[in-house]
Structure 1
Amino acid sequence: MTRIPALDPDWTPEAVVFDCDGTLIDSEQHWQRARAIVLRAFGHAPDEEFAQRAKGLHYRDCGALMAELVGAPEHTEDMTQQLLSAFRSLVAREAVTTPGARELVWTLQRVAPLAVASNCPEDVVRFSLESVDLLKYVRHIVVPDDSIRPKPHPDTYAEAVRRLGVPGSNALAFEDSVNGMKAAVAAGLRVVGLGPRPATQDADLAELWVDSLDDPALVDWAASRPTARAGRPETPAGDTADAKVPRPGGPTRQDPAGTS
């Protein structure tokens, strides 16, 4: 079956779901530093193999991976909490968007309702988005809980489109990790992959690969989508939306290298 490309000029998504870390927020650098801080406290330094294994993992799974690496499974919970604490501190000091994220969000929120599906704790996602003035554009934030499994399970994306009232096949996901792409595809969404196109079969997870969200073809496609005719529906209690929002401004990381 031929999959319709995400940039098909005849297709407009009825909903858009963004990953947060590494996709909207340049936070992978913070996760890398946080992992290094914790591992060095246990006498280890992360290498490239560990970085690839940790990329896109739920933070609790990452804590378990670090405990395995240092040969101390009994410290899994302690390392997990240290990791999260270090990450929160780093984000609080410097939260910036990835290149093109701010402009793409502003463009697409005029086309379709937006949600964020993340493996991070909800308060971290909200804080990160608010720090870069993007929270007001997001209708729903979905993170793992007792009933929602983390990526690569499809639950976060499936729940996001459910809350937006749209079938997965009518929604578009933006992801920078293979685990996240697997989750989105399993939930039926079309995917734009952010970062270098893999040489493996993982390349087929995304229908379009871009180096950054300011990719000219992606920007042109988004700008050519028709603006939604209907006004935004009322936002459920506890979620975020603002029907009257100005064009965004704020800190953006300029160098696209190193996002994940």
Structure 2
Amino acid sequence: MSSERVLSWTPSAIVFDCDGTLMDTEKHWQDAREHALGGYGLIAAPGFADRAKGLHYTECGRLMAVESGHPDLTEELTGSLLRIFLELVAENPMTMPGARELVASAATFAPLAVASNCPREVVESCLDTAHLRDYFDHIVVPDAGTRPKPQPDVYLTAARRCGAEPADALAVEDSLCGVEAASRAGMRILGVGPWPGERTTAMVDLWVSSLAEPDLSRWADARIPRQATR
């Protein structure tokens, strides 16, 4: 890692992941997986939470069905997973520490986008509830022409819509799946969360335990506001 590739640089755009990066929803996904499986009398295999982190919910549902030995239940488990997750988010939406402050500061010097594997309605609902939606110029999610992470499509599309080359944009991610997507897109990467191990950190430029890290706040505050550069 080379922290100076982030902390001494002003990106042309910043693209944030949503789940686990901006919004504290990983526990909701974990609970939703357990409840969905439990509805069919099944339990997740050991280590499933790590394997599922960051996956598109349809891929997660497929993996749940396959690993539980019931691939025939893929459609039912996928639908149940999304329904339960939406209920949990509506009951208890929470932002990650430092997310609100960093987003507000970053929006003064760069266009912002969200690139997520979640359905659009989930992302927009989370951001609206957290009063973050107005900071983002674009929300990019998988669709018929845009593959989910770990493919680079959502990051490439987000950078393009922000008017930036991928190499001039910063991705903010918390999962191996997302880091792989941003790395394949050719972006600089800020990773956040508990230390994930060498496989993930080898692909990022800076890893922090929280978006509330003082170094990040000082970096964002030191950038030149966009209106001052016109």
- TM-score scaled by length of structure 2: 0.95
Structure 1 position 136 matched with structure 2 position 142: no
Q: 1:29 aligns with which of 11, 21, 27?
A: 27
The aligned amino acid for 1:219 is S
Asked whether the equivalents of residues 6 and 172 of structure 1 are also in contact (C-alpha less than 8 Å), the reply is: no
Residues 211 and 48 of structure 1, relative CA distance in 2, 3 Å threshold: farther
The aligned amino acid for 1:5 is E
Find the aligned partners of 2:107 and 2:19 in 1 and give their Cα distance. Answer: 19
SS at match of 1:205: coil
Name the residue aligned to 1:196: 194
Name the residue aligned to 1:54: 52
Q: How does 1:103-252 map to 2 (within 5 A)?
A: 103-229=101-227
The aligned amino acid for 2:129 is S
CA shift, 1:112, in A, is: 0.4
Asked whether the equivalents of residues 7 and 218 of structure 1 are also in contact (C-alpha less than 8 Å), the reply is: no
Aligned length: 230
SS at match of 1:7: helix
Query: For 1:98-153, what per-residue CA distance to the aligned partner results, in whole angstroms no more than 9, with x for missing partners?
Result: 00000000000001010000000001100010000000111000000010000000
Which protein has the bigger helix share?
2
Find the aligned partners of 1:131 and 1:21 in 2 and give their Cα distance. Answer: 14
Q: How does 1:2-13 map to 2 (within 5 A)?
A: 5-9=4-8, 11-13=9-11
SS at match of 2:47: helix
Give the fraction of aligned pairs with identical amino acids, expressed as a percent: 50
SS at match of 1:193: strand
Gaps of 5+ in 2: none
The aligned amino acid for 2:141 is V
CA shift, 1:59, in A, is: 0.3
SS at match of 2:127: helix
Give every structure 1 segment of 4 or more consecutive aligned residues whose post-TM-superposition deviation is greater than 4 Å.
Answer: none
Residues 194 and 48 of structure 1, relative CA distance in 2, 3 Å threshold: farther
The 10-residue stretch of structure 1 (187-196 or 197-206) with the greater mean CA deviation from structure 2: 197-206
CA shift, 1:48, in A, is: 4.5
SS at match of 2:15: strand
Find the aligned partners of 1:32 and 1:48 in 2 and give their Cα distance. Answer: 13
Instruction: Provide the aligned C-alpha RMSD in A.
Output: 1.7
CA shift, 1:4, in A, is: 7.1
Find the aligned partners of 2:35 and 2:50 in 1 and give their Cα distance. Answer: 17
- TM-score scaled by length of structure 1: 0.85
Query: For 1:126-181, what per-residue CA distance to the aligned partner results, in whole angstroms no more than 9, with x for missing partners?
Result: 00100000001110000000100000000000000111110011111100001101
Find the aligned partners of 1:199 and 1:122 in 2 and give their Cα distance. Answer: 30
CA shift, 1:40, in A, is: 1.1
Asked whether the equivalents of residues 99 and 212 of structure 1 are also in contact (C-alpha less than 8 Å), the reply is: yes
